[in-house]
Amino acid sequence: MDSLFFAVIILDLLIITGVMGSENKRFDENYVVTWGNEHVMYTNGGRDVQLSMDQSSGAGFASKLSYGTGLFHMRIKLPSGGSAGVVTAFYLHSHTSKHDELDFEFLGNKKGKPITLQTNVYTNGQGNREQRVILWFDPTADFHNYQVLWNEHQAVFFVDDVPIRVFKNNTDVGVGYPSQAMKIEASLWNGEDWATDGGKTKIDWSLSPFKVHFQGFDIDGCPAATDHKNKNKLSNSTNQSCYSSDEFWWNAKKYRKLTHKQQEKYENVRAQYMNYDYCSDTNRYPVAPPECESNS
């Protein structure tokens, strides 16, 4: 009986973290291609998807539904070889005139040089909150799990369950916080004007096509009912429903802040691997934005 009990507990943990079940859903159950159809290839019965980019086009896809809160994840294997100027993105986006967005952007580099992961947060159309870390592994060699936990209290970016960024709900001091229904999206595109060495290092098209692989198309999120005037904006009643801790585990009290162990990992990432933080950029922000102290 004891061994069965612990087996069930372990299984629950694996499901919550996305380790189990991440490869069981087919792409077309939850997602659709949004552009570059000819640059999308399906394998393993649609449970693995490859986006490719050459000089003619890249490609992208998005979830069929918008979501109000959740733990959103994707297993990604980045383009191998020299990928300077190539950007792989995985993000949440509201598609409104003043949009909300939670953004992973992988900035390609010359072969043998480290890949930079940039995150950004938009609230009500305001962004410019970039942070960048150097990944501590080779993201082109194998799949890794990238996650965004988003609830009423915080948005946390994870790499293989290691928190690399926290954006807390500071609306009480006038800081915007993502509150609009967002779709889950991914894309492969040409960012050579800015992505590598500030745009100095361009794409070497002789190395194309560039290929990125995705797995894990199940979604742990609150499907957002939307109002009739704005199909992407959550109604007040839907907001409250998506914030329910009884119905959605990611809204429970223990997910309102990092655990002690997560906080240690987070501080280690900031100390060892972060190479840019908008909060520390005094040229752009002589006075640090008000959210910086509580999000550090």
Rounding to the nearest 10 degrees, give the CA dihedral for residues 266, 272, 278, 280: 110
Does residue 23 sit in helix, strand or coil?
A: coil
Distance CA 256, CA 152 (A): 8
Peptide bond into 286 cis (omega under 30): no
Active-site choice (29, 101, 185, 247): 101
Q: How far is CA 172 from CA 24, 29, 176, 177, in A?
A: 41, 39, 9, 10
Q: What is the DSSP string of 162-207?
A: EEEEEEE--GGGT-----S-BEEEEEEEE-TTTSSGGGTSPP-GGG
Residue 105: active-site member: yes
- CA 151, 215, 96: angle at the middle one, nearest 5? 45
Distance CA 229, CA 220 (A): 26
Q: How many residues does the chain have?
A: 296
At position 272, the amino acid (one-letter code) is Q
Does residue 265 sit in helix, strand or coil?
A: helix
Which of 147, 117, 148, 113 is closest to 132 using CA atoms?
Answer: 117
Residue 101: active-site member: yes
Active-site choice (38, 105, 130, 185): 105
Q: How far is CA 96 from CA 64, 89, 177, 199, 227, in A?
A: 16, 19, 15, 28, 13
Active site residues: 101, 105
